[in-house]
């Protein structure tokens, strides 16, 4: 019996756990040395962390370790997880989880190595293209694995070229950073061809943690010992660094709505993944308040097809963290928005996300629960999800 136990569940967030050299075979050869010279890339390939990754990946080849994989499908995390990097193992992992499909994101390449904020746009887009080749290659082993490509928004022409290449490669979603580009708004009309390409392909545009505005490091200088994060360091999630995670997403998405991008592409769906969703109800109300307050003076607000909150329900979906009260989010934002995610194989996803979400959904109508576990994901994914995966034959009654 699978973890999903026959229920129709789509997973809006899963990951690879790549080694540091994962992009090398996919990188444009003339630019690879320049990429390898980046300080961030050098850091990933040297020292104790690189040694640890090598040890964990080697363990994946150990027969005794592999023999215990099924019994530890949600207990082993990160590089220890079955199917986290060995491509041939991932379909079996998905069988054991029992999810109808998974959106698959990178781990190693989240943030595009800081290149979006650099002056080297050639390398920035080369890294994104290499990432997109790697992701689509990995996911090509099983049609249930939905590869997420990355599209930097810094250069208008390059962004379109990267989006088109990603779609040609078979990407099922386009990820863009929530952090504002250096020199223009994410709502700039010159980016409309990118949104048009996604809409025409019938795939969503998603934001994901890793591309957001980071915590001001001065907040850590409190005269106290460092606070450990989920992974034992102090540079990932902590209670303080957790707080600003959705800030850039709220601003970017609001700008896209107010400046009419959602209305210009009414069939394009948007998602916020691993950014939490506690913020969504208040954000929706804040946008409605802003539209009401500034409607008289702003022609762009007068042209909106509906209230911002209604546009959100029409075109936007979000994945709560398992520690959030998904039931509260649904009651206050509407049934159309929230989606299930496991964050497999990351530690943050926990060992039993279904149990945690189920506990918060108990008093909701069946329609809301079905929307959370499958319907809203299916709606967001559009043509990126094969018709038979939307309602698999063995799960039609779920």
pLDDT, tens digit (0-9, with 9 covering 90-100), for 46-103: 888 888 899 999 999 999 999 999 999 999 999 999 999 999 999 999 999 999 999 9
Percentage of residues in the chain with pLDDT exceeding 90?
A: 88
Structure confidence at residue 395 as a pLDDT band (50, 70, 90): very low
Torsion angle defined by CA atoms of residues 190, 203, 117 and 274, in that order, rounded to the nearest 10 degrees? 140
Asked whether residue 279 carries a pLDDT value surpassing 80, the answer given is yes
**Is the model's pLDDT at 373 over the cut of 90?**
yes
Q: How many helices (H) and strands (E) does the chain have?
A: 19, 7
Gap between the Cα atoms of 292 and 302, Å rounded: 10
Task: Answer whether 249's CB lies under 8 Å from 272's CB.
Answer: yes
Residue 343: closest CA among 59, 81, 50, 67: 81
Contact 338, 376 (CB under 8 A): yes
Tokens of 186: 């994410």
Of the CA atoms within 13 Å of residue 162, those in its CB half-sphere come to 29
Q: How many residues does the chain have?
A: 398
Please give the DSSP secondary-structure letter assigned to residue 180. P
Domain boundaries, the chain: 11-223+236-387
Fold of 11-223+236-387: TIM Barrel (3.20.20)
Dist. CA 185–CA 297, nearest whole Å: 21
Looking at residue 232, what is its pLDDT? 52
Burial class (CB in 10 A: 0-12, 13-18, 19+), 308: buried
Give me 62's structure tokens: 């150990």
* Closest residue by Cα to residue 289 from 265, 309, 316, 270: 309
Write down the pLDDT at residue 393.
46
- List, for residues 11-36, the tens digit of each pLDDT value: 999 999 999 999 999 999 999 999 99
Strand partners, 173: 148
181-218 confidence digits (pLDDT tens): 999 999 999 999 999 999 999 999 999 999 888 889 89
What's the pLDDT tens digit per position in 35-60?
999 999 998 898 888 888 999 999 99
- Residues 6+ positions from 46 with CB-CB distance below 8 Å: none
Kindly state the greatest CA–CA separation across the chain: 69
Confidence bin at 227 (pLDDT 50/70/90): confident
Given a cut of 60, is residue 155 above it in pLDDT? yes
Nearest-5° Cα angle at 312, 397 to 386? 40
DSSP character for 18?
-
Rounded Cα gap, residues 176 and 172, in angstroms: 13
pLDDT band at 296 (very low <50, low <70, confident <90, very high): very high
């Amino acid at each position: 019996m699978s973890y999903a136990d026959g229920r129709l569940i789509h997973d809006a967030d899963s990951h690879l756990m790549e080694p540091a050299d994962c992009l090398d075979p996919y990188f444009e050869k003339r630019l690879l040395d320049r990429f390898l010279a980046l300080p961030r890339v050098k850091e990933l390939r040297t020292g104790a962390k690189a040694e640890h990754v090598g040890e964990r990946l080697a363990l994946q080849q150990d027969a005794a370790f592999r023999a215990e994989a099924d019994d530890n499908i949600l207990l082993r995390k990160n590089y220890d997880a079955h199917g986290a990097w060995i491509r041939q193992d991932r379909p079996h992992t998905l069988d054991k989880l029992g999810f109808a499909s998974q959106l698959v994101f990178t781990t190693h390449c989240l943030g595009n190595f800081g290149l979006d904020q650099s002056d080297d746009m050639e390398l920035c887009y080369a890294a994104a293209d290499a990432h997109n080749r790697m992701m689509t290659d990995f996911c090509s082993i099983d049609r249930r694995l939905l590869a997420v490509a990355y599209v930097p928004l810094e250069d208008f022409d390059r962004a379109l070229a990267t989006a088109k290449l990603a779609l040609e490669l078979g990407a099922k979603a386009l990820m863009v950073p929530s952090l504002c580009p250096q020199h223009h708004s994410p709502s700039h009309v010159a980016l409309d061809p990118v949104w048009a390409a996604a809409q025409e392909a019938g795939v969503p545009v998603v934001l994901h943690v890793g591309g957001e505005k980071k915590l001001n490091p001065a907040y850590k200088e409190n005269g106290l010992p460092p606070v450990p994060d989920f992974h034992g360091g102090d540079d990932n999630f902590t209670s303080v660094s957790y707080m600003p995670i959705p800030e850039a997403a709220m601003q970017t998405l609001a700008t896209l709505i107010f400046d009419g991008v959602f209305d210009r592409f009414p069939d394009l769906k948007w998602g916020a993944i691993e950014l939490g969703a506690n913020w969504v109800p208040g954000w929706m109300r804040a946008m409605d308040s802003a539209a009401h307050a500034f409607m008289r003076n702003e022609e762009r607000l007068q042209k909106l097809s509906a209230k911002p909150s209604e546009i959100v329900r029409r075109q936007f979906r979000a994945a709560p963290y398992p520690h959030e009260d998904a039931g509260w989010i649904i009651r206050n934002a509407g049934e159309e928005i929230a989606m299930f995610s496991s964050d497999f194989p990351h530690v943050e996803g926990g060992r039993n996300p279904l149990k945690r979400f189920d506990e918060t959904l108990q008093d909701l109508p069946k329609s809301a629960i079905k929307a959370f576990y499958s319907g809203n994901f299916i709606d967001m994914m559009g043509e990126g999800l094969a018709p038979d995966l939307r309602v698999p034959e063995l799960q039609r009654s779920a």
